[in-house]
Structures are given as C-alpha cells and as structure tokens.
Amino acid sequence: MESISTQQVESAQKQLGIKDLSKATIREIVAIANILEKETGVEFIRMEMGVPGLPPAEVGVRAEIKALEQGVAAIYPSIDGLPELKKEASRFIKAFIDLDIAPEGCVPVVGSMQGTFTSFLVAGQCDEKKDTILFIDPGFPVQKQQALVLGYKAVSFDVYDYRGDKLRAQLESYLSKGNIACIIYSNPNNPAWFCLNEEELKIIGELATQYDTIVMEDLAYFAMDFRKDLASPFKSPYQASIGRYTDNYLLLISGSKVFSYAGQRIGFVAISNKLYHRSYPGLQKRYGSGNFGPVFIHRALYAISSGTSHSAQYALAAMLKAASDGDFNFIEQIKEYGNRARTMKDIFIKHGFEIVYDKDLDEDIADGFYFTIGYPNISGGDLAKALISYGITAIPLNTTGSQQQGLRACTSFIKPHQYELLDKRLKAFADSLSI
C-alpha cells in the first residue's frame, strides 16, 4: 500500500481538534482512523478499541429473547437485581473464584463502567479524610475520567518496576498518608495483560486491611489467563482474587468480554459480605443510613440509572448458570483472542518491535485480549502517529498511566486476511527507518 501522508494524518487531527496524538483518547483515535479510511480508501488494521470480536454467547441470546417475549420490557426491574441473577452471580463466584459472597451483595449494573463509577462514588464518601483514588497502573483510561467527573483526587504508579515483594513498600508509601479511599487495578491487566499473582494480591489485601482502604478488583477479563485451565467450575485452579486476603473489597465482573455480550451493557458488582453490612460515618452523615451495600444500591445506583436492563439480566443469569453447571465452557470460546495475540506478536517481533510488558515476574506474559509493543528509540505518541500512516491504529501507553514507551494493541478486530497486510505494512514501516 501507499502510506498515508503525514499531512493527511495532521489534517484529520485538526478536524477533531487533537493537538497531541500521545494524549488522544481511544475514541479520538477511532475517529482519526474513520476519517482517513473514508478519505483514502485504505483498510485500517484496528487495534485501538477493546471491543469483543466474537459472536455473543448463544445461551444468553436465547434467554433474553424468551424474556422479551414474556413481556419483561414493560416492567421496571428491581433496583436490587433479578433474584435469579443474584443467586447465579453468587454461585458463579463460588464456582470460579472459590469465594463466598451472598446473593444480596451481587448487584447488576449497566456494564462494569457503571459498576466502577458507582463504586468510586460511594467509596469516596465513606470517610471525609479519605478523598483520593489510587490507581495501580497501567489501567483503563476512562476510569480516571470517571474520577475526574466525580471531582475526586487521583494518584497512580506504574507497577512495571514494583512487581513481587517490591509492591509492598511502594503501595504503603501511598496508603500511609491516610487519604486513600480506594485502590483499583485490573487482573488480567488492561492494557499490559500481566496478571498479579497470589503473593502480590496478598500484599494488597494485607495493606488494605491495615489502612482500612477499599479495594476494587476489575475482572473485566475474567479467567482469561490462558496459561491456566480456569474453566472448570468448583475445581482448582481458580481465578486469583483479592477476596482471599481482605474483607474490604468489591469485584467488578462484566458480561462484555468473557460472554461477548458487550452490546447489552450488562455486568455485576460483587460486594464482600462484611463490606456490604459495614457502617461508615460519612455515609451515615450524608444519607442517614451508613451501611455500604444498601447505600450503594438504594441511594447511588438508584440515582444513576434506576436499575439495569431487565431482559439483559435474564441473559446474564442464564450464562452464569450454564457456566457454573458445566454446560457452557466460556473460556474455550474466547481462547481465540490468545491465538490472535500469538500470531500478531510474532509479526511485530519479526519487524523489530519489542513486547513492552513481556513478563509476569519470571514467567512470559500470557497471550490474550491485549498486548503491548514498542520500537527502539521511538516514543509511544510518535509510534502511534507513524503507524497510522501505514493504516494501523493502537493507543499510546502513556494514556493508560504507564511510564513505558509503546502502544497497547487489541486483538479483537483483526481479521484473517489482515495478518498478511500487517506483515507487509510493518515491513514497509521498518524499511522506511533504515533508509
């Protein structure tokens, strides 16, 4: 292909008011690619958006259609959630994490995005002295935007240099100040795909208990560490979780990636039994009722959305039940992302790229939904701009809170014929640097 000119890329940026590509949001990079695709006719290889690229789980589709045919669209859902969903969410957590969380604490939300927003909101109101969210980065950029919308303070550190035992001192340097309301991280990690191990989760849990801080564990990519067989319900190995090491936690579980059910915006928050019933002075002062769980549901969530799509709750309940019953191996379906990552990584490495976050301590990183790439002596922002000229899009790592130079690449949209295109375009890019 003929590369897209720098002038064309800059013109697209100008149309969108984007001065610095290294600070562009995911949606802004999507918009740049859309403009250039339309203007040039070049087919883009899209790696910027974390959107599922597999068909939705059939068991969910069937259950939702049945619910709609029975008229649930005419009825407001209970703000607490469909009883069957709450029961199956609790059972799913037992089956695949081996944690006991009562159904009352399993609350459906409009995707994990709403679950995160509501969790931030309530956690930041528990104690007037604790007004800051700690992000263990890299992470999902929009979560920091949520903190900004809420008006909360935020601090973060890139965990790249603080894996294993090093994590304790780094984490305690923030918690010891006494102002951290909650900690958030994703596991597997978006964007780097590393997985915090049990030793690291134990450190986080012990310090969260010591400093009385709430931990939000984002499990959007639940059980997608394909190095382990996490697909067998009620059998070890289980998904690693903070829930083994502290009572101060919430789990954020999404239907979007593991069940490819993103379009219906459905997930659930699981609030630990002790946190659910715990009374906080800040909540008591604000609402006249201080217990975390009821405030989360009947005050915050009710004010935000007045509930979650009724029919989608039936879909999620059916998918969770089928998984826990052993009738639906949801991991087998999504292993395709790992296959794609392996092929794509090989192509990038062939042309001189490096995997930025390449290790889980002494173990090679898993292949999955995301991976990270860098090129020697080129910043993440410059690399993103350069690859756009070759019809390839990805987001700079600095937008995720990473201190490393490189890009996040998503595997979900790659099409079979595009592996050859990727190979040719990356060769052209590498050749241009050697001229």
Which residues have a Cβ under 8 Å from the Cβ of 355 and sit 6 or more positions away?
345, 348, 349, 365, 371, 372, 373, 374
pLDDT tens per residue across span 150-202: 999 999 999 999 999 999 999 999 999 999 999 999 999 999 999 999 999 99
Q: Say if strands 180-186 and 132-137 run parallel, antiparallel, or are unpaired.
A: parallel
Radius of gyration, CA atoms only, the chain: 22
Confidence band for 20, pLDDT divided at 50, 70 and 90: confident
Token look-up 């978006």 returns: 190
How far apart are alpha carbons 371 and 47 in whole angstroms? 10
Name 214's bridge partners. Answer: 182
Residue 17 DSSP class: T
For residue 19, which phi and psi values (nearest 5 degrees)? -85, -35
pTM of the full structure: 0.94
Evaluate whether residue 414 is within a structural domain.
yes
How does pLDDT run across 189-236, given as a tens digit for each residue? 999 999 999 999 999 999 999 999 999 999 999 999 999 999 999 999
Spatial contact of 182 and 271, defined as CB atoms under 8 Å apart: no
The per-residue pLDDT for range 123-136, each reduced to its tens digit, is 999 999 999 999 99
Of the chain, the end-to-end C-alpha distance in Å amounts to 18
DSSP class per residue in 16-62: HT-S-GGG--HHHHHHHHHHHHHHH-PPPEE-S-----SPPPHHHHH
Q: CA–CA separation, 206 vs 240, rounded Å?
A: 15
Structure tokens at 139: 């992470």
Q: Say how many domains are in the chain.
A: 2
402 and 382 assigned to the same domain: yes
Are 233 and 312 in the same domain? yes
Q: Which of 273, 304, 325 lies at the terminal end of a domain, its last residue?
A: 325
Q: What is the DSSP-derived secondary structure letter of residue 279?
A: B
The span from the CA of 79 to the CA of 106, in Å, is 12
Query: Is 53 among the domain residues?
Result: no
User: Do residues 258 and 347 share a domain?
Assistant: no
For residue 263, give both structure tokens: 């379009």
| pLDDT band at 50; cut points 50, 70, 90 | confident
Q: Are residues 206 and 341 in the same domain?
A: no
Q: Is the pLDDT of residue 1 over 80?
A: no
Which position has the higher pLDDT, 50 or 427?
A: 427
- Structural domain harbouring 371: 6-42+335-433
